[in-house]
Amino acid sequence: MAVDERLLEILACPKCRGDLKLSDDKNWLICESCKVKYPIEDDIPILLIDKAEKLEND
């Protein structure tokens, strides 16, 4: 089970309050503004700034 689409509509980045999008592998919530990703563990988004990881440059 993945994060519910309705939940994604109301979730916001805890740092900038910007929109979050689900990663292709559905394991991360991505904030394009802050260039970070937040993990999803056991279908629960972990929206703690301390747990955020920087996005890798492709």
Q: How far apart are the two ends of the chain, measured CA to CA in Å?
A: 28
Q: What was the pLDDT predicted at 1?
A: 57
**Which structural domain, as residue segments, surrounds residue 44?**
5-54
Asked if residue 22 lies in contact with residue 3, where contact means CB atoms within 8 angstroms, the answer is: yes
pLDDT along the chain (58 residues), means of 10: 81 96 94 96 94 85
Number of domains in the chain: 1
pTM of the model: 0.87
DSSP tag of 12: B
Q: What was the pLDDT predicted at 3?
A: 77
CA 45 – CA 31 distance, rounded (Å): 13
Residue 44's identity, in one-letter code, is I
Number of Cβ within 10 Å of residue 34's Cβ equals 18
User: What CATH number did the domain enclosing 39 receive?
Assistant: 2.20.25.10
